[in-house]
Structure 1
Amino acid sequence: MADLRCRGCKVLFNNQKSKNQHIGASPSCLNFYDKESTHFSAHPESSSRQPRPQLPIDPILSPPFSHQPIPYRDSDEPTYDLPSPSRASHPHPDENPPKRRRVMIEEVEDVDTNEAWAHEKFPRPVATMQGSGVTAFKDQLTEQKSMREQPYSPFRDRKEWGLVKWLMRRTTQTGVDEYLKLEITRDVTKPSFKHKGSMLKKVDLLPVGPTWNVDDIKVTGDLRGPKEEFLTEDLELWRRNPVECIADLLGNTAFKDFIVYEPVKIKRNGQRYYSEMCTGDWWWKIQSRLPHGATVASVVLASDKTQLSVFRGDKTAWPVYLTLANIDKEVRRKPSSHASVLLGYIPVAKLACFADATRSDAQQRLFHACMKLLLAPLIKAGKDGVLMTCADGLIRHVYPILAAYVADHPEQCLIACCKENRCPRCTVPRDSRGEETSYPLRNHQVTLDLLSQSQATEDNVPELESQGVRTSAPHPFWAELPHTDIFATISPDILHQLHKGVFKDHLVEWVSKVVGRTELDRCFASLPQCHGLRHFKTGISTLTQWTGAEAKEIEKVLLALLVGRVDPAVVSAVKALIDFIYLAQYHVHSETTLARLREALSAFHCYKDVFIQLEIREQFNIPKLHALLHYLEAIRSLGCLDGLNMETSERLHIDFTKAAYRASSRNEYTAQMTTWLQRQEALVRREAYLAWALSTIDEEVDPGEESSDDESDKDQDETAGDEDADARSAGKAPVGSEYDDAQEAEYKTLKLLLASNVRRAYQLPLTPSARRVSLSDLSTRYGAIDFLADLRAYMTTYLPSALPPNEYNTYDVFHDINILTPASRYFDNSKRICKVRASPAKPRVGHRRPAPPRFDCGLFVVDEDLHRREGKLNGVCAARIRVIFHLPSHLGYTPHALLYVQWFRPFRGPEQHSGLYTTSHSTSNKARRHSIVSASTLLRSCHLIPKYGPDDVDPDWTTDTVLDAPTDFFLNTYIDFAMFHELSFPDRAE
């Protein structure tokens, strides 16, 4: 009988599955078993005294990565001379270690050393400590201890606190009352509150952040009423003090390890790198203007109108968000981190008291007046500085300075006091925006002087027209903000300028006219699928509502659809613009990648006239196209643009605006929204405090004492359901809470995989997707022709003393495999995992729709030495994966999972205009080549796109069958950033 007690934490489980899930999700227990496995590997004699543990995850115990050759040769197409395999990594079949879910293929190598990176610090004292302070969390803990309150106060205990969070976030106020009136609630749960009112009183006792204030604004129009009086409109401006918001963010203990206080220039091998705002030029320049020891709080603002209701379009909100570039941008991008705060709601008014001709000017004056009230506290704080207690408990002299303002183009022009047919950053003439010519940036003081002149005289000021200045707001909100150049703070907007702007609104339209919408739709509909890639079943012309997500998916595949169908100059122009879009999204830039960014834009301007020749365009005087010229200077000044993206603001609308509106009564909703938001923030603040306080209390316990480890996790593991042995048989996935637990454990182990210090690895699901699959099913349902012959060939090479497989053997099969690709300094770690599926068709079960087969392609290393030496696609071939399986235990043991694959030829190219590599089916005697290989040779997933050519799309090509078509295929180098960075440039990627 299996040992159901975890030897790491001594917890007893109901079944082996629960134990495996626990070990996979617990780093401490996983580490215990890893060490134990290493001991068993080094001392095999100890296995006779104690059975080996059945590990859900285990680092590889065999010798380093060894590649097996493809067991076939063909004289009519090129092959690689492959080294003889080392059989040391294939133990005798009598040695039967446990199957591994996670296997490390390569240890990290060429790790950047501290000597390789140079950090140039600011030449004088920065962020000097002014003393030690008490953070808000420490103050709360001290107060609770003095009052002898438990951490969950004012609630009874952890369970009641969990109930309150659920009620506040998942139910309406009416639902709260209905729940509290249930008999089971009154008799069993017995909460300390009897109705929603008493519960909300307790919630309101929780500490809150900056409080809300409301200003009454009376707008007097230019229209007169029946008594000849000027009509007026009463408005409300809801706002919070920005200095208090900044102090709250800087002092948040949860951000302690993610805050920087000083600028730095990062170089490697003499080349400068840009990432966070502190690595750019703006922070360095501002620091030089401030007193010695000053700390810059880099303020980032974002504003954007949004609809509150789908069915009632007149309900609109105009939120203004604030965050600090001192906080890591990876943290700021996550709404769940709460690193952005809602600063206020600008009133959205119809201003019916104004005539049609003057209403637009009045709305601009209203915006600047409201923003001036919102940001007024920053004027004195930016000039004199404010003492603030930071997250590390130290007091610093902080100067809050507006560093960046994120908005879409109309709002950028509103902020910059310029016309919408002009650039909000520079003085480019209206009719010159389509050219690759740089113009001087707008000057802060010159613009203020022009606005003053326009008020002082009724005569036309020539400079107003030449610079496109709009005079309706003579006193802009930014006029008195210290150290602020508003035009330089207006950051590029990747979402609206690139994805939904030049790509969706322009490039896709141009290409659709060149190719034809119907034919382009057929191409999209017949594209082979790939995990993580959206499939447009009916094409893209039927899309009624585009978001950034749709644009990103189309960017991945558009280029390959055009090769051979359109003028090569069109292909070159499309490639250049998509290259620019990809490069602009890098999380880290070097001078090399910035040069590539500039080259891509220059290439587009070089080829763009082909659209005029094809009568698609008459000119390129497009504001969003001109804005691309400012990306390079913005990155050098403010750091990489992934931290200054409207996508973050769009996501914040859901939490700070739309959800708050849905929780209101829809009448006088702004006041209700601010109350709801303050309570939600109180819950978040208390959650963060409890995480900090409980860890602090744990640290005060004598380390020699043994304490209960993760009570909640233990409860969850011990109550997990029994394993259903037949749940996944024949490819059926289990349902219910047990499957949810498996998914959660899978997610946790993927996070562990990302955190592991390895270069390459793969991970299989917790349990096989289908058990005991017969040879007949492998052939008919998975398409694994000659599976038995290929397996015998593999075992003859690697397990020569094992029993040969026969037609009666069955196999445990997995329907997907996660692959950890090598890390890149240019992208987040979260982008390293890709998935390959090998799943047969699934019939309709009840109301569940039938699922088509999914057999993805992957890149396999067939010549390790060549690939290590020359990189890119050297020593690499593509193959379509049909089966992922383990050998039955009686046949022998392999340290890796095995894959049945169908091969493609070595890559050719790249193609002259698109830069895409081509391949085709690898055949022998007119039949597809196939073999069985080790999962250790799988480099990553890949996406192959058929070469459509000038003719109409073959009607027999569908998304499920096109990979079997006898045609050439392009390797999609735009499927993700890692593939793009590695293959899109002639020299080897850095």
Structure 2
Amino acid sequence: MPRGRKRRLGAGRPELRCPWPGCPKRLKSQAGVTNHVNTAHRHSNSVAGLVPPPLSPSESPEPEDDYSGDLPPTPPRNSPEPEPELPRPQKNYHPFLNARPCDKDGVFLPDGAPPSPRTTSATDDWAPYDDKVQFELADFLFRKVQMSSKNIDQLLEMWALSMMKHDDLGPFHDYKDIYETIDATTVGDAPWKCLRTEPFNTAPDAPAWARQEYEIWYRDPDVVIANMLDNPDLDGAFDTTPYVHLDANGKRHWSDFMSANFAWRHCDQIYEEDPTTEGAMYTPIFFGSDKTTVSVATGDVEYHPGYISLGNPHNNIRRAHRNTVMPFVFLAIPKSDRKYDNDPVFRKFKRQLYHASLAAVLSSLKSGMKKPVVRRCPDGHFRRVIYDFGPFIADYPEQVMLAGIVQNWCAKCTALSTHLDGNICGRRTHSLTDELLAAFSPDLLWDSYGIDVDIIPFTRDFPRADIHEMLSSDLLHQVIKGSFKDHLVTWVGEYLYLAHSKGEADAIMDEIDRRYKNYFALLFFVANSYLMYLPAIKGLVPDEIVQAIAAFLDFCYLVRRADFYEDTLDSVDAAVRKFHAHREIFKVLGVRTDTPGGSTAFSLPHQHSMVHYRYGIEEFGAPGGVCSSITESRHITAVKKPWRRSSRYEALSQMLQTNQRLDKLAAARADFVERGMLPSTFVAPVAEPDDDDSGPTDSVRVEGNVVLARTRERRYPRYSFELAQHIHFPTFPTLLARFLTDQLNSDLYSNDGNDIDPAELSTTPLSVFHSAIATFYAPSDPSGIRGMRCERIRSTPSWRKHGARRDCAFAVEDQDKPGFRGMSVVRIKLFFSFTHDGVDYPCALVEWFKKVGRSPDIATGMWVVEPEYRGKNRLVTVLHLDSLLRGAHLIPVFSSTHIPIGFSFKYSLDAFKAFHVNKYIDHHANEIAF
């Protein structure tokens, strides 16, 4: 929306048509078009959360079919010609493994046949619970609040006492009654089993680790997968068939796993090897494994869980877990005295035990990988399912163990460990390893190819499984934590101590910490500390270092997107090349050096993984669906919290029981929802964030929407002139009148153009609010199942007893311009609303910032803005809330400015003259503020 009235009227400009298909409205200016679209078509950008596949030719309605709806009126002769129909995206499904429904015996059903009932239980049968209250109470106490058994008994005792006067009983007798009822649940049951190994060496003089038996606790993965497939909660967010997704321009689109190359290629291989698999449903199995520590104080209590998932559920469902990422094994962790830490025999034993354990635990899947097995799917249909091993999610140390390679080599390719980013390399495969094993000695394979001949990967025992093909990219550990924290941040510190004396370097490091505005400290790294690191170092290090880190951050944000197109993949490659070019500055400055006769300065496995991302996206879809952050967050619910609920003594059996009960509660809820006994979680009401200013939401998908908070603030005057005095802004009534005049004049035919006098609005009641809720489509960020996220934009005179908080926001000025070129940043001084002629106007009083230059800053890649003035005063206008998109984050352009000790970040927007528009605050901002 324009910033001043003269600019807004746009006299002499040609009339502009509304771009919305079928809308005949014509307007004076681009601002009028934007305002009209935001108002008249406010909810027209809503799209269905789940788009069904296109109709097959046999399902498409014939032209002669009767139509029972009302036909649209014949348009008048002088109406504009209808817009030509634009090309539409399309999905081309695999022609052979096309997931045809069948009966429980595997006999294919006729097209259109309904699924058989999932259960014959009545809609009032809550078994094993007596009623809804029992189930909801058990779910609430055990899953939601995780109440201790002692407290449960106290609560139930009070409940029973309150019921005695009615000669009735409470819902449960004690905590044991609750636990036994949960255990009696049959849906979702997958009991834990124990596999014991034989001692490696029984000789009396053998080390203790060799004479010990090891226990591997596991659940039959076939049972876990069957339960996962039979989960009605996944219906509508579950792909049964691999597909190639083409956009409206015929270009390839990658997102969920089934849209990528791996699934299609393996389906071709399965059908070519056995044509009787035609009509089967391809079911790729995901794996994840990572050690985790539960005792922070001592660090000596650790577990090695393995997780299982499927490639059919959409990525957003998998990231939200939704019972699609399940712990299925707790691997043994051999311990020894320190003297055996570097013992090659002990190291070999640990690796062999690891692979032998996985091979044994997964053996029940082998038959389903060769011939289809009948399983019920989320939509209620039975299908002939063929299993296949899909991506394995692991950090680099685990990848080394999985792939049977030598440390510092790449598990995906044969690049030399001394020059990982060189051009001489090919893809690792089991067949290539076999050829090398037949041709060379073990020592040569270790030194020249990085192959450990003592390790036989567990995938050797399963059809079509190749661990090198299965390993997925690890964004969290290898790129963000490894390359950013361990490499780039460390190198910046090393440069400072090389270029300056220790005292000067210490002072600069302190300056960087102060620029973090008390949010982050480099000594205590968190996964999102890079949000503010780039502008914090600008002016304190050479621009080439800033450019290297900016290129790295661009790569990180590109690969975290939820959707990829061919041009996006080109941008990923370009970001890698740019980073490789700019990181040479660390070599020039002496921070990194080539080792004579050894490794190059940047032969680092973590950074090398970046070159494999394009291929990984083409193979597996968006990296967010196969990222180790999924297993990292699952550690909390599957390991850490169950451990805290245990007695801490021989806790594993208690943890397994907790996991099993949680799974049964989730399965029971899904069953009750499907039978209509509980409301669906898909239509849960939108919850505004209270303590946190942002978070996921399950609201209906829209591109963006901003609404005022629910409750007005009652300490403000209700009328414009009195409110102007209260907020110390005397021109407020005039700005309000200009706003309403522009609103009424934005439509060519709706007003005679007369200005509204401020006095006319002096008796119009106003309502003031301290915040607004922005809801927008941000699938690349933590979001709800429909990819929606909400955040609170605040404008309040007091925030947590630290003075006023006036947030900034993106204001849309021209929707036709890409990125930030069509937007500006405004600072919210006041949220308010009023009603005029029966129309509600939610508004914001805003200060404007203007762009510095016509393109982003060369060093940081971020736009720079500065306060906009009219004469000596800040430019202030009233905006309709529909012109706001979401909150904006500004970071000062520090340059060489010294930040005083004790300076508070709350003064930043007033103390500095220019600001970076932080496109790294989250992934949605990165996609719009370019």
- Cα distance in 2 for partners of 1:967, 1:235 equals 65
The structure-2 alpha-carbon separation of the partners of 1:317 and 1:748, relative to structure 1 and needing over 3 Å to count, comes to closer
- Cα distance in 1 for partners of 2:822, 2:101 equals 55
Q: Which of 150, 161, 164 does residue 138 from structure 2 map onto?
A: 164
Deviations 1:770-796 (A, max 9, x none): 442488997798674643454455467
1:128 positional shift: 3.2
Q: Is residue 675 from structure 1 mapped to residue 662 from structure 2 by the alignment? A: no
1:109 positional shift: 6.4
Question: Structure 1: which amino acid aligns with 2:892?
Answer: P
- Cα distance in 2 for partners of 1:765, 1:898 equals 12
> In the comparison of the two structures, how many residue pairs are matched?
821
Q: Is residue 511 from structure 1 mapped to residue 458 from structure 2 by the alignment? A: no
Q: Which of 753, 764, 778 does residue 708 from structure 2 map onto?
A: 764
1:837 positional shift: 1.6
Matches within 5 A, 1:364-513: 364-433=351-420, 435=421, 437=423, 439-447=425-433, 460-473=442-455, 475-513=456-494
RMSD of aligned Cα (Å): 4.1
- Cα distance in 2 for partners of 1:256, 1:299 equals 18
Deviations 1:282-307 (A, max 9, x none): 11111112232232210000011111
Q: Which of 851, 860, 871 does residue 914 from structure 1 map onto?
A: 860
- Cα distance in 2 for partners of 1:921, 1:592 equals 35
Question: Structure 1: which amino acid aligns with 2:488?
Answer: L
- Cα distance in 1 for partners of 2:510, 2:714 equals 36
Matches within 5 A, 1:702-713: none
The structure-2 alpha-carbon separation of the partners of 1:897 and 1:907, relative to structure 1 and needing over 3 Å to count, comes to farther
Partner of 2:562: 587
Question: Structure 1: which amino acid aligns with 2:191?
Answer: T
Partner of 2:769: 814
Contact 2:315–2:624 (CA<8 Å) still a contact in 1? yes
Contact 2:706–2:885 (CA<8 Å) still a contact in 1? no
Partner of 2:541: 566
Deviations 1:583-619 (A, max 9, x none): 1111111110000000000011111111112222221
The structure-2 alpha-carbon separation of the partners of 1:446 and 1:918, relative to structure 1 and needing over 3 Å to count, comes to closer
Partner of 1:877: 824
State the TM-score, normalizing by the size of structure 1: 0.75
1:803 positional shift: 6.4
The structure-2 alpha-carbon separation of the partners of 1:366 and 1:779, relative to structure 1 and needing over 3 Å to count, comes to farther
Question: Structure 2: which amino acid aligns with 1:304?
Answer: D
- Cα distance in 2 for partners of 1:526, 1:141 equals 60
Give secondary structure in 2 for the equivalent of 1:218.
Answer: coil
Q: For structure 1, list consecutive stretches of 5 or more residues without a partner in the other structure.
A: 1-66, 90-101, 528-534, 697-709, 718-739, 843-848, 985-990
Deviations 1:16-72 (A, max 9, x none): xxxxxxxxxxxxxxxxxxxxxxxxxxxxxxxxxxxxxxxxxxxxxxxxxxx565247
Q: Which of 910, 919, 924 does residue 964 from structure 1 map onto?
A: 910
Contact 1:885–1:899 (CA<8 Å) still a contact in 2? yes
Q: Is residue 837 from structure 1 mapped to residue 790 from structure 2 by the alignment? A: no
Matches within 5 A, 1:508-907: 508-514=489-495, 518-519=507-508, 522=511, 525-526=514-515, 536-537=518-519, 539-543=520-524, 546=525, 550-552=526-528, 554-618=529-593, 619-694=601-676, 754-755=699-700, 759-773=703-717, 784=729, 786-791=731-736, 794=739, 800=755, 804=759, 811-821=766-776, 830-831=787-788, 833-842=790-799, 850-862=801-813, 867-874=814-821, 876-887=823-834, 895-907=840-852
Q: Is residue 209 from structure 1 mapped to residue 209 from structure 2 by the alignment? A: no
1:110 positional shift: 12
The structure-2 alpha-carbon separation of the partners of 1:250 and 1:821, relative to structure 1 and needing over 3 Å to count, comes to closer
1:406 positional shift: 0.3
- Cα distance in 1 for partners of 2:349, 2:618 equals 36
The structure-2 alpha-carbon separation of the partners of 1:82 and 1:219, relative to structure 1 and needing over 3 Å to count, comes to farther
- Cα distance in 2 for partners of 1:341, 1:415 equals 20
1:821 positional shift: 4.8
Question: Structure 2: which amino acid aligns with 1:284?
Answer: W
Partner of 1:942: 888
Question: Structure 2: which amino acid aligns with 1:587?
Answer: A
1:334 positional shift: 0.8
Question: Structure 1: which amino acid aligns with 2:265?
Answer: K
Question: Structure 2: which amino acid aligns with 1:172?
Answer: S
Question: Structure 2: which amino acid aligns with 1:507?
Answer: L
Contact 1:105–1:759 (CA<8 Å) still a contact in 2? no
Partner of 2:211: 232
Question: Structure 2: which amino acid aligns with 1:379?
Answer: K
1:403 positional shift: 0.8
1:238 positional shift: 0.8
Question: Structure 1: which amino acid aligns with 2:405?
Answer: C
Deviations 1:791-836 (A, max 9, x none): 4554676685666189999853211222345788999753554542
The structure-2 alpha-carbon separation of the partners of 1:827 and 1:766, relative to structure 1 and needing over 3 Å to count, comes to closer
Question: Structure 2: which amino acid aligns with 1:656?
Answer: A
The structure-2 alpha-carbon separation of the partners of 1:479 and 1:570, relative to structure 1 and needing over 3 Å to count, comes to same
Q: Is residue 320 from structure 1 mapped to residue 254 from structure 2 by the alignment? A: no
1:501 positional shift: 1.2
Q: Which of 316, 327, 349 does residue 330 from structure 1 map onto?
A: 316
Q: Is residue 273 from structure 1 mapped to residue 253 from structure 2 by the alignment? A: yes
- Cα distance in 1 for partners of 2:439, 2:653 equals 40
The structure-2 alpha-carbon separation of the partners of 1:783 and 1:659, relative to structure 1 and needing over 3 Å to count, comes to farther
The structure-2 alpha-carbon separation of the partners of 1:979 and 1:665, relative to structure 1 and needing over 3 Å to count, comes to closer
Q: Which of 302, 314, 326 does residue 341 from structure 1 map onto?
A: 326
1:506 positional shift: 1.4
Q: Is residue 286 from structure 1 mapped to residue 233 from structure 2 by the alignment? A: no
Give secondary structure in 1 for the equivalent of 2:240.
Answer: coil
- Cα distance in 2 for partners of 1:409, 1:239 equals 24
Q: Is residue 251 from structure 1 mapped to residue 230 from structure 2 by the alignment? A: yes
Contact 1:133–1:393 (CA<8 Å) still a contact in 2? no
The structure-2 alpha-carbon separation of the partners of 1:330 and 1:787, relative to structure 1 and needing over 3 Å to count, comes to same
Q: For structure 2, list consecutive stretches of 5 or more residues without a partner in the other structure.
A: 17-24, 26-37, 52-84, 107-112, 497-504, 594-600, 745-754
The structure-2 alpha-carbon separation of the partners of 1:602 and 1:777, relative to structure 1 and needing over 3 Å to count, comes to farther
Contact 1:293–1:397 (CA<8 Å) still a contact in 2? yes
Q: Which of 128, 131, 150 does residue 154 from structure 1 map onto?
A: 128
Question: Structure 1: which amino acid aligns with 2:626?
Answer: L
Deviations 1:153-179 (A, max 9, x none): 233221222222233333222333333
Give secondary structure in 2 for the equivalent of 1:237.
Answer: strand
The structure-2 alpha-carbon separation of the partners of 1:957 and 1:581, relative to structure 1 and needing over 3 Å to count, comes to same
The structure-2 alpha-carbon separation of the partners of 1:453 and 1:342, relative to structure 1 and needing over 3 Å to count, comes to farther
Give secondary structure in 1 for the equivalent of 2:191.
Answer: coil
- Cα distance in 2 for partners of 1:807, 1:594 equals 56
The structure-2 alpha-carbon separation of the partners of 1:831 and 1:759, relative to structure 1 and needing over 3 Å to count, comes to closer
- Cα distance in 2 for partners of 1:186, 1:659 equals 33
Question: Structure 1: which amino acid aligns with 2:403?
Answer: A
Q: Is residue 241 from structure 1 mapped to residue 220 from structure 2 by the alignment? A: yes
- Cα distance in 1 for partners of 2:689, 2:477 equals 35
Contact 1:103–1:896 (CA<8 Å) still a contact in 2? no
1:316 positional shift: 1.2
The structure-2 alpha-carbon separation of the partners of 1:526 and 1:914, relative to structure 1 and needing over 3 Å to count, comes to closer
Contact 2:695–2:791 (CA<8 Å) still a contact in 1? no
Contact 1:765–1:817 (CA<8 Å) still a contact in 2? yes
Give secondary structure in 1 for the equivalent of 2:459.
Answer: coil
Partner of 1:42: none
Deviations 1:927-957 (A, max 9, x none): 3222333323324332222222234346796
Contact 1:68–1:934 (CA<8 Å) still a contact in 2? no
Deviations 1:293-331 (A, max 9, x none): 232210000011111223342221111100000111111
The structure-2 alpha-carbon separation of the partners of 1:445 and 1:374, relative to structure 1 and needing over 3 Å to count, comes to same
- Cα distance in 1 for partners of 2:815, 2:891 equals 26
Question: Structure 2: which amino acid aligns with 1:582?
Answer: Y
Deviations 1:116-169 (A, max 9, x none): 21322224353233435799x987741x44xxx942223322122222223333
Deviations 1:458-517 (A, max 9, x none): x644223211112343x3311111101110100001110122111121122223445656
State the TM-score, normalizing by the size of structure 2: 0.79
